[in-house]
Structures are given as C-alpha cells and as structure tokens.
Structure 1
C-alpha cells in the first residue's frame, strides 16, 4: 500500500451551517493552501505532535451553559419526580443476543487480533432498523451497565421506540440511548431512553436532534458529543450533560408527540426521557469546520480517562466523509466538587472549559479515542467499506498496533497488516474494573457490541 500525500486547505472565518441529517457537514470559508501528509488505512501514523500554541488551544475552548435549576426542578415536579437508572434497568424490555446467537454478518465484523473477550448483538428489530444508527458507547464504573447512543437518520417517520411503532411525528435527527443491564452477562437486557432539552421556563421539553459521536459516564453524569445539535432554535456542535439521577417518566406512551400533550407528557412512544442539565458550545462563537484542522473542530468521539488528575474526558475531531486531514485529539478536566461532579472544569468570568492537553495524529479517519495512563489509543477507519480498521497506541514517541495476516479486500500479497480491528467501529470506552475496551459497529447488517481486554491490546502490539 502506497503512502498517500495530499494538500490541505486552511480555512478561516465562520462555517455557515451544519447539516443535521447525520451524513455530512456543508460549510464554506476562504482558503489558503499549505501541504501535509496523512496515514491512511494500515499505514503507521507515527508519533503524536503536541498542539501548544495559545491560538490553536483557543479553538478548543468551550463555553458552559447550565440549564436553569428552577426550570429543571419545575419540569421534574410536573412530570412526577425524577427516577434513577436502577428503575430504568428494572423496566428493560429488549433482550441482547449473546455472541453465539449473533448473525454471521455481525460476527464477521469482530476484530481478528486481539480477539473479543465479549460480544453482544441487538434484538433483531433494532439490528436491522436502518432508520437508526448506533454512534457511541460508554459503561458504568462497575461495568454492569453499557450505554449506547443512537441517532435517527431521517430515512423514515415511523417510531422506533419502546412500542411497536406507528407512523407519525418527525423523528429526523432525534437522539436516543440504550441502557443495557449486564448484571447477568449471559442474558443482558436494555431499555431505550429519549434525550431531551428542557424549555427555558420548565413547562415543556423538546427532543435533542443531533448526530451523537461520543459518550462518557462519570459519577451521575452522562456526557455526549452532539454534532449539529438543534436546540432552542439553533444548530451547533456541542457537548451535552445529562443527570442520571433525573430520568423523567412519560405517562402518555401511545403518542407521536414530544413534550406536554393533552393528558400528560409524551416522548414519542418512549417511557423515559433524560433531560440535559448543561451544554458546552465553542467559546469563539464560530461553527466548526469539518474540512480542515485549523479552526474550531467538529466534535467526534469522546471517552472517560480516570487515570488523569483530575479525571477528564478526551475527544477527537470529526471530518466530513472522504476527508484525510490529520485529526486533533485533546482533553478537558472534569470537576470533582460535590455540586458540579461530572461537569467540565471551567475558569474565568465566562465559564470557559479549556483543553489541558492536545495533539495531532496523522491517522486519517479517526473514529474513536481513549487515553489511559498517559497512552492514547486511536481507532482508525479502514480505507474501504469492507475493510477492517486499526487500533493504534500512540504517544509522542511513535505508534504501534497489532499485526495480522492479509490486509484490505483484494490484497493477496500474503503479507501482514495493521488492519486487524473491527469493521465500521465508532467510539471507544474503557472499563478499568474489567480491563475491557468497548466499542460497537453501526451499519446494517453488521451491528455488534464487543469488548477486548486492554492487556490483550498491549500484548498484541507489533
């Protein structure tokens, strides 16, 4: 496989709009040509390079916007009070399939080196529903609960919910989350929850419409990246934070509507909603640009790092399909004070969250990132639709990945390849209690959720 070189463009100014349908971002800006090269497919990306200039770090700042507590309490009271994740799990009404019961097309997407320690597949209805696409994953601290974020792609208007569905209200761009109870690893079950944003007065809520990209669970907070999020009349790339001690129950489950309805509250056939308690958007006020890595980044994956001090979340940059830019990966600290646990650490009069560490990786097509004990693990997409991805361990000294036989489809050289990871994987999550790196695949009919031991990843490095 030949090394690819290409030119990239530096675009300045504001991106004018972001698409919410979940396929691409259409943005315009002025350009100045400079050159670089990227590692694609199974090519070694080499070391991370530090992003340290004040101007570059300024592009990574996020401004905090907390949901008004009075409005949140008002909504909670109107909806009969909040419940915790245990109630949601007790009501789980969908069954995961164990690896042995997964379709052949699903199992074919598992990694070849290292092999999966555990694998699950979704209930058949969700496994083949191409209206919804799984985008993100995280786990609880004890690894009992796996959480997966899905986005509606706008292909149809039927309800893909807890019920049997039905035609009706617009689902385009809605975000929902599966809470999977693995207390019995042989028989995991899950429940769907709709992500929502409270109205300013606390008298109503609206569905969060966004392409989810990454997810982290810290204490009682669920943090998600929301690309092109539509909320309160605007679209932007954001982080949203949800309180896992404040699930709200919809008492009208046979309606397509979202919010207050005649007779109570509806969540488009879902029994539970999870309201946002905070949001973070680019502090510079600019929209992100998915065409290069010089301005405000479009948020891609997200994961939790408990080994940093303080604990933090690490994020990666997302590019429009077919782009081959070196991506940025960076870190935000998490607040550990009692009343702000799980929110980003902020400073200054405007409550800005700043990146405490940032790098560039020349691995093109980054789809997942995690950090553990100073090492960065970067999931890189394959060059072809049918190819396998690569999981790199990178630092400022270099990059390593497992090796396996073969390579991209059609490669009959009989040699070895770094493309040993799963096919079409998205975000990454690490559970220290079980030493498992979790990820999942998205397209139909290839949906599988699996874990690989981090110790196996490190042992397999070539």
Structure 2
C-alpha cells in the first residue's frame, strides 16, 4: 500500500510538472514561422556618448585630487565578511527552496542579505568575474567576483544631494576569503564653481531621478561595462578607484553628502568611489512606452555578460515580463552579441559605431540573465517566490534567429544576471549568478557538467516528455 501511494504521489508530481512546463517548451520547440520573427541586426547599434571626451577629462582631474587603490589591495582591506557554503550544501537554504542546486555558494552578511519580507535599501542585480576579465583568470593574485546593486529604498526627491538617492554600487568579492567590499559608482561633472565633483548614478544624471538599475555588469580587461537599461552601457575603469578614507580632503562619516562640498569629497559614507569614464547609447532612441511590444526597434539593456569563445564579445538581453509578453514570443525579448577588441578591452567599431554581429529572439519571457559560449546560450528565468530556472539552448550559428531551449534546470529563488567562468583549457566551466530576494540572497555557481543533456525536461520532436528525466530531477 505504501509503495502504491508513493507511486501515485510520484505520478501526480510528474503530471503537475507536465502541466507547468509543457506550454513553455512546446513554444520553444515549434518551427520559427510559428514562433515569431528573427530580430533585425540594424536595430543593434551603439554610438559613443556625446560627452565621452569630457567624462575621461573629469576622471583625470579627479586623479589629481584623490588617491587611488587597486583591486588586490581593496580585497585585502575589505571590511565585510560573507559566508561560504560547505561542500554542496548552500549557505542559505531559503535561497534555493532547500534544493541542492549549486557547485559552490556564498552568502552576504546580515545587513546585505536582508530579511524575508523586510524593507531593504540595496538590491543585487549583476554579476561578473575575473574569468570574464582575463584569460589567466587572475587579477594579480586574486580571483574576484563582482556584483552590482541598485538603491531601491523609496526616497522623496529634492533639488539637493541630500535626496540620498545613492544610485548603484559594485561589490568586490574574494571567494578565497569570503571577504568583500562595496564601491560606489559615480558620475563625474564640473560644478558651478569650476571644481571637479561627482554624483550618484541615475537614469538621467540630474537630481531627483531614480537610481540606475545596473541590471547587468561585464568585466573585460580594465573595463567594467554596466548595463544602462534605456540607453546602452556606462563604462568604468579598474585603474580609477578612489580612496576617500586615505584622502586628506575625503570624508567617509557623512552618509548624506556626495561629491565635492566646502573643500571635501564625500561618497554617502562609502570609502571608495569609481567614476564613469565613458558611455555608449543606442543610435535610435528607445520608445519606453513600447518596451517588449515591438518586433523591431532599439533594444533594452537589462543584463550583460562576456563570451570568450572565439573572438571576445559582450552579450546583452532584454527582460520582458510574463504579463507583457502574454505568450507572444515576439514580446519575449531579444539577446545580442557585441564584438570587443581583445587587445584594448574596448568596443570593436565599424565606422565609429559599435554594431552587434548577432541577435536572437528569446523563446520565453521573464529572462533575467543570459550569456553565450560556443554558440550555446544560457538563460536564467525568475519565477516569483519559487525556484527560478536555468535554460540551455540548442547551439545556433546563424547571425539572427530564434533560440530554442534544449534543457531546463532548477535555479535559486530570484536568479539574476549570469556570468560564465570558462575552464583553464577554454572548455565550458561554471555559471555564476546572484539571487535578489531579501533573506534569500545567494552568490552561487553551477558547473556545466551538472547540466546534463537529459536534464529537468526534454521534449522530443513529437512533443512527448521524457518521464524518467523528470522523475530523476524532481524526486
């Protein structure tokens, strides 16, 4: 009797799985003409910001006013301690709904983790690693992981810096010690008195505007590319991280002020500030009222990554919510690949423009992160308070098309951006992500060996589901 009940329970779970996933994967397996239209590569073009030269000039001026500190020393002096996982057990079971999902994981300290259901100021979003930045996967003697956050706590905008909108920050995390340090990202400008100053990162660089979402970050060479949702990228340089604590004219005690005031430099209480040195914007302005509702037009930059297979590329993608897509694949979002100059770490240009050389329609909505490697895309999908999913697509070699899901796997609750850390021999390695929900936050990686060809679900050409595969992953 017990065995029969267990079998019945197992069958019920299998049937529930079929109901939940069948519609997603049937859409993913349909023919391109049934599923939508491929993106137009002409929609994916970026130009340098009109104030590109001025941005760099302002940073050079800051360099004469403030001392700098390198990444290695920042990590060695890091002021926060995280918690590593033990073996395959996660350091926060709430973040994985008590499933063993990752090869390794790290948790932030209590103030950064937040409480389930509690109000928080900062939300983690993007992730990148030294595996993106350098071929040898070391920055001096360190192997840093970087995480971006945006300031979400509601504020009442005013016309002064005291509006306390802190913009975006990047965490430098040392996986060897689990120590980490927050660095505030800032936008440099010349104030009304002719002094070089800076403000927090905003959607528009004026007081009263919201914090930049920083939904994805990509580190390549000396440069950190931060996704600017409506425009393209903000760019930062690892060689320009300023240390206000060591500055004779710096103040890290006042958490309200930022920039230069009465002879001192402030950073909302942060020790380090990292100024924007460049920016890239879509050639055609995006119509924000039609996000995810058009088959064409300038893309949204929701997440980003680095692809080191072949010639180096940045990857980008659009988050399109389920309620907007409503099952229409043409509203599910797009991803693209942008060529980089492997020698300089800067965009590889054609006639002064940065043009994507590949773009694809996403097969499903609610994608929070995506990165390609060896013609295969890896996509993270959020699912509210439940486990998210990690999708592996079929390889695609055309320059445009529609991605097709090959396998699907459980992810943590609220997975965000993805970063691929290749093995030393260049073969596929681990996928890093960060989960955002307060009290369920987790920095984690999963090795691609664990993403077997027959994983969570595999729908064959005749749309029959492999029951044994489902049982293996669900029980």
Distance 1:179 1:321 in 2: 33
Alignment partner, residue 151 of structure 1: 150
Distance 1:138 1:151 in 2: 16
* Superposition pairs of residues 85-104 of structure 1, within 5 angstroms: 85-100=71-86, 102-104=91-93
**1:156 and 1:40, CA in 2 relative to 1: closer, same or farther beyond 3 A?**
farther
Distance 1:191 1:130 in 2: 18
Alignment partner, residue 179 of structure 1: 172
Question: Does the CA-based 8 Å contact 2:44-2:356 persist in structure 1?
Answer: yes
RMSD of aligned alpha carbons: 3.1
Question: Does the CA-based 8 Å contact 2:319-2:365 persist in structure 1?
Answer: no
Q: Is the partner of 2:378 in helix, strand or coil?
A: strand
Alignment partner, residue 306 of structure 1: 308
Alignment partner, residue 355 of structure 2: 354
- In structure 2, runs of 5+ residues without a counterpart are 1-15, 132-136, 203-211, 245-249, 326-330, 397-402, 459-475
Distance 1:315 1:193 in 2: 24
Matched, 1:117 2:106: no
Alignment partner, residue 223 of structure 1: 225
- In structure 1, runs of 5+ residues without a counterpart are 5-37, 158-167, 228-235, 403-417
Distance 2:293 2:98 in 1: 30
User: Aligned-pair distance for 1:455?
Assistant: 2.5
Question: Does the CA-based 8 Å contact 2:392-2:406 persist in structure 1?
Answer: yes
Q: Which has the higher strand share?
A: 1
User: Aligned-pair distance for 1:264?
Assistant: 1.9
**1:455 and 1:71, CA in 2 relative to 1: closer, same or farther beyond 3 A?**
same
Structure with bigger gyration radius? 2
Q: Is the partner of 1:254 in helix, strand or coil?
A: coil
Alignment partner, residue 205 of structure 2: none
Aligned residues: 380
**1:458 and 1:345, CA in 2 relative to 1: closer, same or farther beyond 3 A?**
farther
- TM-score normalised by length of structure 2: 0.73
Q: What's the CA shift string for 1:3-53, capped at 9, x where partnerless?
A: 99xxxxxxxxxxxxxxxxxxxxxxxxxxxxxxxxx9976666238969xx9
Distance 2:332 2:184 in 1: 34
**1:172 and 1:302, CA in 2 relative to 1: closer, same or farther beyond 3 A?**
same
Distance 1:224 1:375 in 2: 23
* Superposition pairs of residues 1-40 of structure 1, within 5 angstroms: none
Matched, 1:105 2:111: no
The answer to which structure, 1 or 2, has the higher relative contact order (CA under 8 A, 6+ apart) is 1
Distance 2:370 2:452 in 1: 15
Q: Which has the higher helix share?
A: 2
- TM-score normalised by length of structure 1: 0.75
Distance 1:47 1:98 in 2: 42
